[in-house]
Amino acid sequence: MTVRKRVDVRVEGVVQGVGFRPFVYSLASRLGLAGRVRNDVEGVFIEVEGALAGVEEFLTALERDAPALSEIESVTVVSGAPAGHRGFTITAGDPAGPRRALVPADLATCDDCLRELADPAGRRHRYPFVACANCGPRFTVVRGVPFDRLLTTMAGFAMCADCSAEYHDPGDRHFRAEPTCCPACGPSLRLLDARGADLCGDPIAACASLLRAGRVVAVKGLGGFHLAVPAAHQEAAAALRARKHRAEKPFAVMVADLDQARRLCAVDGQAAELLTGRARPVVLLPRLPGAPVADAVAPGRRDLGLMLPYTPLHHLLLRELAEPMVLTGGNVCDEPIAHEDADAVTRLGGIADAFLVHDRAIHVRADDSVLRPWSGGHTVLRRARGHAPEPLTLRRPAPRPVLACGAELGSTFCLVRGRRAFLSQHLGDLDDQETLRSFVEGIDHFCGLFDIRPEVVAHDLDPGYLSTRHALELTGVELVGVQHHHAHIASCLADNGETGPVIGVALDGPAHGLDGTLWGGEFLRADLASCTRLGHLALVPMPGGAAAVRQPWRMAAAYLRDEHPGLDVVRRNAAHWPDVLARTRTGVGAPMTSSAGPLFDAVSALLGIRDTVTYEGQAAAELEQRADPAETGSYAATITEGDLLVVHAADLVRAAAADVAAGIDPGTIAGRFHNGVADAVVRCCVMLRDGTGLNTTALSGAVLQNALLLERTVERLRAAGFRVLTHTRVPPGDGGLSLGQAAVAAARDRST
Ligand SMILES: [Zn+2]
Ligand SMILES: [Zn+2]
């Protein structure tokens, strides 16, 4: 007689909405086991019984063969007496109790669904809302948990008999696929003119012909509206840029497949992997010379942001258009992208000539995620669609639930319960009313989805940040202020599942320091709970404060003072140069900063690349784009030792100015400058290693979005024997700040 065994298995992680129960069902059936599986608030719960060997094989295969889109965090197994189950069944979810199940991120259309989309004999031929248990909308359509159709924006679409049969068939890939539907029962597509009136004809074909004719079309995507034009169409791209009031910030381009991508950019194995990853992010890649892309798409840049289609609608549209198309956020300037149909027609009315819309509502807005590969991996510039709201796992649990409010620009928030850190999608700049509203509503939505009531609230020390003000207005919570650059280093630690201590190098824009100056070029001894300043870039005045951010030439003046009066940058800005110099001398209206951001701005202006900017970080980004990556020369900065190490970065600017005066090529100078900054960072770290005994460095801050600087710094640190931590899952800029704040608050809560 065979020994019968029964186990109860609890699986936690991203296991709902990813085809997990059908996988369990077929696994148990194949092994001849009986029992049942259901979704509940904790994740997935399985009761399984049968021959001992079968149950053991089941437990092994459960983790080994789990669906590709699932992410198992823990499996807990409890043995019990066999209950006499006959056969294996999938039972209904249980909406009671605390809501703990994880909501998956939106998933790119799977190959099976693409085949269905292309099958003329099938009932979903060319149907733009094809989805199954392995793909389709998730986070952006979820109103509540558990993940169930009634709690999504698909609730209003009652399934037809055919869809319902598939939905209830455990052997079908549409089994319990909440967004499944077909032309008979699901959403439908419409093409509207600029005033919102219906245009006749097949919406996809008509939309493609409008695009080919150079019209701007607003396309409703997964997490919001995009604006589309053919990528090679000079007039259309220029018109889009002019109407969007977006002077120079680059547009992303969607390509049908990797072949099309390779016609525009250098796509190596790593890039192909990032492009085809399940999140389908925008990937910044080196543009090929002569690539057929309109000038207005990414002016001043050697790279180009590419992405592959991630919804059936995108696949259909690109096939019809048969060429790459610009797909940029459906907004004016930097306000949040539109995600509601009526709002889109109102707000985008002056930009779009037509609207491709549908009646599946977007509950939560999510921009495209943006990644940038570099020689040592990739940097996340924007974490949004395809990643949010999936949690990061902290090394150690938070004793009490934490909310971290993040920064001001490119903001995110983060909620922590136990070891799970739920980082919001990129929200945008909080100084915009609409963004501020999505910040406040987003926090409520996440608290509801993940059943978190924050008891500890972390915030930046800058009282002017709207995120700080939001934190300070909350009552009945414990507030934890976290210095900006400590939060960046903590974010890098959390990104790597580490706790420190490390030598933290924060190269960042100017932000609130602890001594009345603006920090941002900092060497810190940091662990999660605490942080000590060990060194920094020498202070310089920022003449005009915020004006110096918009006008990088002011930083050139602040660094150069009266030296090199014959330089072009002085001549170009002669009218205001003396005033600005006077400000740097008196210090009136010229806050002092140790930030690395303005240093890059100064050199960008000095080289004639950017005197003024139209978006944040533009001068530094274009300086990097111009730098000759083959340049091995370097400028040297003096480092002085006192209580703190001080890097005299003005030496780098002076050396660059001397090369400019000598007529050296700007690309060479930019290359030498990048190498010089990396060299200075490494020399400081070596000096600090001697003093602290720490051999691990953590690199963070917005300036390290610069792939060339990151690469040069990491290479040199490793050559000097350091272990180097960089960001891979969250942005080094302010988009990752809330994770760091949360990690600090949790660590301090543990130590009290
Ligand atoms: Zn699918
Ligand atoms: Zn149907």
Nearest ligand to the CA atom of 165: 2
* 226 DSSP β-pair partners: 219, 329
The helix/strand/coil state of 693 is coil
CA nearest neighbour of 352 among 373, 377, 326, 334: 326
What contacts 643, CB < 8 A, 6 or more positions away?
none
For residue 66, pLDDT over 60 is answered with yes
CA nearest neighbour of 388 among 442, 441, 337, 433: 442
CA 54 / ligand 1 centre spacing (Å) = 30
For residue 95, pLDDT over 80 is answered with no
Read off the pLDDT of each residue in 477-490 and give the average, rounded to a whole number. Answer: 98
- Report CA torsion sign: 281, 284, 286, 290: positive
CA 109 / ligand 1 centre spacing (Å) = 5
Banded pLDDT at 333 (limits 50, 70, 90):
low
Identify the H or E element spanning 242: helix 234-244
Residues with CB under 5 A from ligand 2 (ion): 160, 163, 182, 184-185
In this structure, the number of other CB atoms found within 10 A of the CB of residue 295 comes to 10
* 306 DSSP β-pair partners: 253, 283
CA 308 / ligand 1 centre spacing (Å) = 16
Q: Which residue has the higher pLDDT, 342 or 630?
A: 630
Read off the pLDDT of each residue in 522-530 and give the average, rounded to a whole number. Answer: 98
Instruction: Dump pLDDT digits (tens) for 696-742.
Output: 999 999 999 999 999 999 999 999 999 999 999 999 999 999 999 99
Distance CA 37, CA 167 (A): 16
Instruction: Dump pLDDT digits (tens) for 175-188.
Output: 888 999 999 999 99
Instruction: Dump pLDDT digits (tens) for 158-168.
Output: 999 999 999 99
Q: Within 13 Å, how many C-alpha atoms sit on residue 191's CB side? A: 19
CA 312 / ligand 1 centre spacing (Å) = 10
For residue 98, pLDDT over 60 is answered with no
Distance CA 199, CA 474 (A): 49
Residues with CB under 5 A from ligand 1 (ion): 110, 113, 132, 134-135
CA 354 / ligand 2 centre spacing (Å) = 28
Q: Give DSSP secondary structure letters for 294-341.
A: -TTTSTT-SEEEEE---SHHHHHHHHHH-S-EEEEESSSTTSPPP-SH
Nearest ligand to the CA atom of 131: 1
pLDDT for res 340: 79
- Report CA torsion sign: 338, 342, 348, 354: positive
- Token code pair at residue 407: 């920064």
Instruction: Dump pLDDT digits (tens) for 336-365.
Output: 777 777 888 888 888 999 999 999 999 999
Phi-psi bin for 516: left (phi > 0), alpha (psi -120 to 50), beta?
Answer: left
Distance CA 364, CA 437 (A): 12
Distance CA 247, CA 308 (A): 25
Distance CA 334, CA 487 (A): 25
Q: Percentage of residues in the chain with pLDDT exceeding 90?
A: 80
Nearest ligand to the CA atom of 172: 1
CA nearest neighbour of 228 among 358, 107, 356: 356
Q: Which residue has the higher pLDDT, 393 or 305?
A: 305
**Residue 96 identity (one-letter amino acid):** A
Q: Give DSSP secondary structure letters for 329-392.
A: ESSSTTSPPP-SHHHHHHHSTTT-SEEEEESS--SS--PPPEEEEETTEEEEEE--TTTTTPPE
Q: Which residue has the higher pLDDT, 614 or 183?
A: 183
pLDDT for res 216: 97
Banded pLDDT at 69 (limits 50, 70, 90):
confident
Instruction: Dump pLDDT digits (tens) for 114-147.
Output: 999 999 999 999 999 999 988 999 999 999 877 7
State the alpha helices, DSSP H only, in 587-706: 596-606, 618-626, 650-661, 666-692
pTM for the model stands at: 0.90
pLDDT for res 342: 80
Tokens 């990752």 sit at which residue? Answer: 736
